Amino acid sequence: MRISVIGGGYVGLVTAACFAELGHDVRIIEIDKRKAEQINAGKPPIYEDKLEGILKQSIGKRLSAQCNYDGINDSDLIFICVGTPPQDDGSADLRYILSAAESIGSALSGSDSFHVVTVKSTVPPGTTESVVVPAVLRKSGKFSGIIGFCMNPEFLREGKAIDDFMHPDRIVIGGQSDKAIDVVKNAYEKLDAPIITTSLKAAEMIKYTSNAFLATKISFSNEIGNICKRIGIDVYDVMKGIGYDHRINPYFLNAGLGFGGSCFPKDVMALIRLAERNGEEPILLRSVIDVNEHQPGRIVKILYERIGEIKGKKIAVLGLAFKDNTDDVRDSRSIPVIEELLQKEANISAYDPMATETMKKIFPDLSYHSSVGDALEGADACLVLTEWPEFSRLKDEFNRMKNPVVIEGRKILSGFGTEGVCW
Ligand SMILES: NC(=O)C1=CN([C@@H]2O[C@H](COP(=O)(O)OP(=O)(O)OC[C@H]3O[C@@H](n4cnc5c(N)ncnc54)[C@H](O)[C@@H]3O)[C@@H](O)[C@H]2O)C=CC1
Ligand SMILES: O=C(O)[C@H]1O[C@H](OP(=O)(O)OP(=O)(O)OC[C@H]2O[C@@H](n3ccc(=O)[nH]c3=O)[C@H](O)[C@@H]2O)[C@H](O)[C@@H](O)[C@@H]1O
């Protein structure tokens, strides 16, 4: 099948590389020339496990990237994978979606064959129908039926994106017609996963609901964790105890600093704004955000309780990325922690296996180190902020600290006899 993917970011590039791996001919349209060039050179502009390998296998053969929309009228299926960042009020900014839809419409104006335009970006319910369909039809000069429309939300996690794409729990396809839905189904025919077909709007809502539910599990665990901490119980034992109940399951119950990244905070806020605009009071969703916003401050409070005055103290910060296995620091919970430490005039000594360069763009003046040991040298305390597996193997490195006070914002250490381990 011939597929075009609009946007060569996390989702677009992974989607394109995986569809090429499945044997389709894929063209990426990426307006950022530098990114398109990197992709064509077989170098992913982002770090993602296994991505470079599969990109190199297909690039120049079944996969290519370009900066314009030329030739997309060859494609049976066109995926929109551009960003939907938050606006100042938290609602989703749809300008990239509109612009992509208009460009697709113009590019399809001369074509006589059937094409399916499919939104993969996370968009508020109603967007495909009210923004994408009219823009494509207006610019193409065609009527509905000549072009099909679908909404196929993406559930991949950064750091595990290739495996998530190739082995999804389910594939959701919202569509206007069976004919359009069948084209999207065919693209995925080599994958072994249940396919849920639904309306365009329901597919859009499934994506928001999925992220909001996972975020709710995390905030719930944090609230229970905060209570447990007061009364001297390890919340990880508690969550293990409930996670065996198959109605609950053991995933996304890790308490700590809360959720970061480019999606959970943004998508829960967008859902809150959607609810409000439709006359609903999203009481639970607001609490999910509230709990999350408070968690970073709690670790600094615990630090103060352990070492007293923070001013002038050397604080080692292990982990900057919003989660392990990525160089992405967007909305990382390490950012508010570092901001508060800087406000209290701490000397921060930072280490991350992968995210140092991205974090330097936000905090250029921190003292960054290329090894955990160097970051810990002479430190008055250490905060662990990302669940990097390599931190679970640390032991002797902590001997380089001035005081053995280690506070975990993510439960990853395996117990090494230091003081102050929290959560
Ligand atoms: N990052 C993630 O893990 C996931 C993201 N999503 C959703 O997928 C969407 C995309 O997210 P990311 O890939 O992270 O964003 P991103 O910012 O990494 O990539 C978007 C890309 O689209 C390009 N672009 C923007 N306008 C364009 C246009 N008119 N034509 C061609 N290219 C254009 C940008 O230059 C950028 O490279 C968002 O709605 C996001 O919420 C969904 C699941 C997972
Ligand atoms: O829409 C999206 O962009 C994606 O958002 C998340 O994926 P991602 O943000 O890559 O990472 P997660 O593994 O979900 O972690 C998100 C945040 O929650 C935190 N987290 C996760 C799990 C947990 O138990 N506790 C916890 O605090 C992580 O540390 C991280 O900061 C979802 O898991 C994906 O299904 C979804 O496609």
Domains 2-198 and 243-408 share a fold: yes
pLDDT of residue 95: 98
Indicate the residue type of 259.
F
> Edge-to-edge strand order for the sheet containing 367-368?
367-368, 347-351, 314-318, 381-384, 406-408
pTM, rounded to two decimals: 0.96
Superfamily of domain 243-408 in the CATH hierarchy: NAD(P)-binding Rossmann-like Domain (3.40.50.720)
Burial class (CB in 10 A: 0-12, 13-18, 19+), 3: buried
Q: Residues lining ligand 1, CB < 6 A?
A: 6-12, 29-32, 35, 81-84, 96, 99-100, 103, 121-122, 154, 156, 158, 262-263
Can you tell me the distance from the alpha carbon of 187 to that of 284, in angstroms, rounded to the nearest whole number?
A: 37
Residues 23-50 as b/e (b if ≥16 CB within 10 A, e otherwise) read: ebbbbbbbbeeebbebbbeeebbbbbeb
Q: DSSP letters along 285-347, please?
A: HHHHHHHHHHHHHHHHHHHHHHHS--TT-EEEEE--SSSTT----TT-THHHHHHHHHHTT-E
* 171 backbone dihedrals φ, ψ, rounded to 5°: -120, 125
Q: Which atom of ligand 1 is nearest to the CA of 99?
A: 29
Q: How far does residue 83's CA lie from ligand 1's centre (Å)?
A: 3
Per-residue pLDDT of the chain (423 residues; tens, 9 = 90+): 999 999 999 999 999 999 999 999 999 999 999 999 999 999 999 999 999 999 999 999 999 999 999 999 999 999 999 999 999 999 999 999 999 999 999 999 989 899 999 999 999 999 999 999 999 999 999 887 889 999 999 999 999 999 999 999 999 999 999 999 999 999 999 999 999 999 999 999 999 999 999 999 999 999 999 999 889 998 999 999 999 999 999 999 999 999 999 999 999 999 999 999 999 999 999 999 999 999 999 999 999 999 999 999 999 999 999 999 999 999 999 999 999 999 999 999 999 999 999 999 999 999 999 999 999 999 999 999 999 999 988 888 999 999 889 999 988 886 544 444 444
The residue assigned the tokens 């009481």 is: 283
pLDDT of residue 110: 86
Say whether 382 is catalytic: no
Q: DSSP letters along 351-407, please?
A: E-SS-HHHHHTT-TTSEE-SSHHHHHTT-SEEEE-S--GGGGG-SGGGGGSSS-BEE
pLDDT of residue 414: 62
Closest C-alpha to 226, from 172, 302, 112, 339: 302
* Catalytic one of 18, 263, 382, 422: 263
Q: Which atom of ligand 2 is nearest to the CA of 161?
A: 10
Rg (CA), the chain: 23
96: which 2 tokens? 């990239």
Domain spans in the chain, listed from the N-terminal domain onward: 2-198, 243-408
Q: Which atom of ligand 2 is nearest to the CA of 261?
A: 9
Tell me the ipTM for this assembly. Answer: 0.98
**Domain 2-198 class?**
alpha beta
123: which 2 tokens? 């968009």
